[in-house]
A = this chain, B = another copy of it.
């Protein structure tokens, strides 16, 4: 039995006073009807753009574990009494059935988020946020991973989301140009711990949160990204979706959660000009406000029912070229192909827009056993959409260096990787690296623009002192599903980030998140993921 109105009785979880579902299982909805064997008009094409992804160029691991181009038949579509895009998303959040293999995939993104969060927790921006949170107090509902303290779910989500985004190694979705893990996993984990949700409920909420966030980001589109940090804006929807799912809100309350989330979305790129700390605040606030939106909705707080598509809603206010279809195209509670499966992992600790050039440079370095002394100059061609983040960035701070394409390429050529410790007060003052950085230039290439955001391509051309010219092109940097990245790669990245902080719990956590049955609960994950050894992460 499932209630659908605001007068339903409580479900036994403490935050659901008026509007929650009484049944835990989201799989029994007989009202979802309308089968459609035709389904999605763009099956398998979840990366939005003007053309299909180019052939993959594997960098790290050639064996593919993701299904980038497979065709699936949609078996059912959402129908609601008020068939609007936001209402369709609300119904999807309530009733979606996450396939077993998607749950398995979700475990990798959860582990990857934990690695970034554990390793980033001691850095300055999340530390300040944590100090403020500690000064505010709150009931011990959820764990702040960096120090093991417990506070209210929204504040724990804020702290953990901010921590997860500071190393610039958390995952990245190309189609929406956003980092879904940071707000979505942080919100899901905090609410799941608070409510004692099962590990499977946690995974489902994460997969659903990704789906909603990415679709909203796609709908907002690249014009939105010119001013707005999509990780903050669309992220609030993803966090609210995950929180609402775990909180077992019904469709009406979930719609209100999305409405309140949408009317709290924020996050401007202006901070980039100062290399300031807002980039971590944005997913933090998205996670916080998404949880808050769900908590409000659970108690009957109403909000716009058409927050996305309405005349004074998000798309009208914050996008010059919204793509409304992205919200619901192919959406189905029993769909097999999920947006989360197309999200890219990051193997370098820099802005994703630098990665294709870095990978091309690494490829040339390896193929030709290059040494910096051989290099006369390096010319990089990028898609022009990358300029918004890369233009004018100088390695003035370790964080700013993550957005300096010349510094990133030079460091990769010099050291053969771009691990977190390549960005420190020492490395950005290193004379040899800076000398090589000076010899790297970059420009835009209109041919590359056409491929974005389905692919994020770059071409690196190296002129040797001998006069010889080497060139490599990367369309899908390492970590893109098309590039091939294995569970072993993801686990190895996690261990690299966390071994020094978690000690032997690092391996235990990786095993628990990737393989243990049943999936560990949020509380169990938090116990393993809490830093107790001083972090050696770079400043």
Contact = CB atoms under 8 A, between A and B. Distances in A.
A139 interface: yes
Nearest to A135: B15
A271 B314 CA distance: 11
A47 interface: no
Contacts of A285: 264, 289
Nearest to A280: B301
A263 B292 contact: no
B263 A132 contact: no
Report, as a range, how many residues of chain A touch the other chain.
Answer: 35 or more
A249 to B, nearest CB: 14
A129 B274 contact: no
A453 interface: no
Contacts of A259: 270-271, 274, 276, 278
Interface string A250-283: 0000001001101111111111111011100110
B263 A226 contact: no
A256 B17 CA distance: 39
A431 interface: no
B302 A277 contact: yes
B260 A301 contact: no
Given A135-B295, A137-B137, A276 B304 contact: yes
This chain: copies in complex: 2
Nearest to A272: B312
B227 A296 contact: no
Interface string A296-310: 100111111111001
B268 A313 contact: yes
Contacts of A266: 263-266
B138 A296 contact: no
Contact of A268 (B15, B228, B269, B304): B304
A14 B307 contact: no
A72 B131 CA distance: 45
Interface string A310-352: 1111101110000000000000000000000000000000000
Contact of A132 (B262, B273, B295): B295
B128 A154 contact: no
A44 interface: no
Contacts of A14: 135
Contacts of A262: 268, 270
A152 interface: yes
Contacts of A267: 263-264
Nearest to A299: B128
Contacts of A226: 312
Contacts of A282: 263
A488 interface: no
Name, among A153, A263, A264, A300, the residue most crowded by chain B CB atoms within 10 Å (CB to CB).
A263
A136 interface: yes
Contacts of A138: 136-138, 152
Nearest to A236: B266
B260 A281 contact: yes
A154 B125 contact: no
Interface in A142-175: 152-155
A303 B273 CA distance: 10
Contact of A139 (B129, B136, B141, B301): B136
A110 to B, nearest CB: 25
A137 B138 CA distance: 4
Name, among A228, A268, A312, the residue most crowded by chain B CB atoms within 10 Å (CB to CB).
A268
A193 to B, nearest CB: 14
Nearest to A158: B292
Contact of A304 (B131, B141, B152, B278): B278
A317 to B, nearest CB: 4
A131 B301 CA distance: 11
Given A278-B260, A295-B135, A301 B125 contact: yes
Interface of A: 14-15, 17, 124-125, 128-129, 131-132, 135-139, 141, 152-155, 226-228, 232, 256, 259-260, 262-274, 276-278, 281-282, 285, 289, 292, 295-296, 299-307, 310-314, 316-318, 388
Given A270-B304, A277-B303, 11 more contacts: A14-B135, A136-B155, A256-B276, A263-B266, A263-B267, A263-B270, A268-B304, A271-B304, A274-B302, A274-B303, A276-B304
8 contacts: A138-B138, A265-B266, A266-B266, A270-B307, A270-B314, A273-B304, A274-B302, A274-B305
